[in-house]
Amino acid sequence: MKVGFVAESFPTADEMSGGVRVSVRRQADFLSREHEVVVLAARMVFPPFSRYSEMKAAQGRGERFRSVEQSVRVYRPPCVHFPLLWKAAEPFQLALWTVFIFSVLERGTSLIHAHRCFPAGYAAALAVSVLGLPLVLTVYGSDVNLGLDRAVVGAWVSSATRFALRRASHVIAVSQALVERMRAFGLEGVKTRVIPSGADQLLPDSMGQKEAREALGLPAGGKIVLMASNLVPVKDPVTMLRAFAVLRGSEVDATLVILGKGELEPVLQREIAALDISDAVLLKGRRPRDEVPLWLRASDVVALSSLDEGCPVIALEAFASGRPFVGTAVGGVPEIVPDGGVGILVEPSDPEALAAALKEALGKSWNREHIVRHGLRFSWETVTRRISAVYAGM
């Protein structure tokens, strides 16, 4: 079967950062073992203003219109970013490119699989009306949790999100919580299937914690808490810092490592100074994809303090590395942390509760083999086999 992916972005093999970006890339790679996969991901053309410099840098190095990456054909057509009008202009440009590429350059495509409701899902929903193809739409979290709420995203994005969900032949949600969210907004008739995100088996067992810490230049002693996420309000990293300060106050010898970048980075730097924990917190920014397994293996606990989540990939990768997860009981997180054998969950926005959970996790003797077995439920082989079953039923 020939499958056309439509996504807002698609990282090259050496640019693997960001939960959804990684998921889309891995789905394409693994599905290409059974299907012919063609990816369309827009390359944004930004105005020559300094305010867009970070966006240009974050866009990645995939600049050619057409390329073959591993066994996946990738198209990166240009879409012009119009200030103030991007919410309307970007999806329509993406829709036109989708129609052109899958009717002219990639004839014989069996279905379109879009990722996230807006802009890719909305663009694909417009395009399939012309192409006459079925549409599979995968939703990941904020595209539904926020995208359906007019008070948060505005009437235009909310309406576009609803159109994409209703137009899709099948919606794949990474958690049951997202399905319930859709139903709460009156979308009971949408045909859905819950398929969580996946995780790679990151490092062989021969790579121990000591070796990983040596490779990263980390101290051999003490405990390490790893947080890997975008530094944005929905991830609530300030609560993580405050919880860690409480943890350190209980005389636990620990270091907090934060991997990621975002708008809250200056806020975190000020908070670290105010809490007087600069000697125990490492802000490492975004790290190369092949380095992330080392950070996981070097850690004792992986943690998030999010206000909302779909299916956090870093938690699944923690399980694959035999590391317990400490986080907040929001969105789809309780679905992947079903018991205390793989992690501990607390309510969001509660630094004291999070600190207590971290202390318990750092002092507990975990069954690493049990955690790894739990993680195997989310292997990409398993996840993409379930996605292929959705394709077969179209």
CATH number of the structural domain spanning residue 213? 3.40.50.2000
More confidently predicted of 207 and 179 = 179
pLDDT band, very low/low/confident/very high, at 14 (cuts 50, 70, 90): low
* DSSP string of 40-68, one letter each residue: EE-EEE--S-GGGHHHHHHT-S--SSEEE
Residues 292 and 176 in one domain: no
CA distance 286 to 388: 32
Q: Determine the 3-state secondary structure of 136 from DSSP.
A: strand
Residues 75 and 169 in one domain: yes
Residues 193 and 279 in one domain: no
Place of tokens 């914690």: 209
Total domains in the chain come to 2
Confidence at residue 175, expressed as pLDDT on a 0 to 100 scale:
96
Which residues fall within 8 angstroms of residue 42, CB to CB, at 6 or more apart?
A: 8, 9, 76, 77, 78, 79, 90, 93, 94, 97
Let me know: does 327 contact 227? Beta carbons within 8 Å: no
Residues 157 and 99 in one domain: yes
Residues 6 and 75 in one domain: yes
Place of tokens 């929905």: 234
Residues 361 and 226 in one domain: yes
Instruction: Tell me, yes or no, whether 289 lies in a domain.
Output: yes
Instruction: Tell me, yes or no, whether 203 lies in a domain.
Output: no
Residues 53 and 147 in one domain: yes
CA distance 363 to 138: 38
Residues 227 and 176 in one domain: no
Instruction: Tell me, yes or no, whether 76 lies in a domain.
Output: yes
Instruction: Tell me, yes or no, whether 204 lies in a domain.
Output: no
Taking residue 54's Cβ as centre, other Cβ atoms within 10 Å add up to 11
Give percent of the chain with pLDDT exceeding 90.
78
Give percent of the chain with pLDDT exceeding 70.
93
Tell whether the model's pLDDT for residue 204 goes beyond 60: no
Taking residue 189's Cβ as centre, other Cβ atoms within 10 Å add up to 9
pLDDT band, very low/low/confident/very high, at 15 (cuts 50, 70, 90): low
Between the ranges 35-49, 94-108, 186-200, 282-296, where is the mean pLDDT highest? 94-108
Domain span at residue 25? 2-198+379-392
Instruction: Tell me, yes or no, whether 152 lies in a domain.
Output: yes
Residues 126 and 190 in one domain: yes
Residues 164 and 18 in one domain: yes
Instruction: Tell me, yes or no, whether 229 lies in a domain.
Output: yes
Residues 192 and 301 in one domain: no
Residues 154 and 22 in one domain: yes
Length of the chain: 394
Q: What is the CA radius of gyration of the chain?
A: 21
CA distance 250 to 261: 29
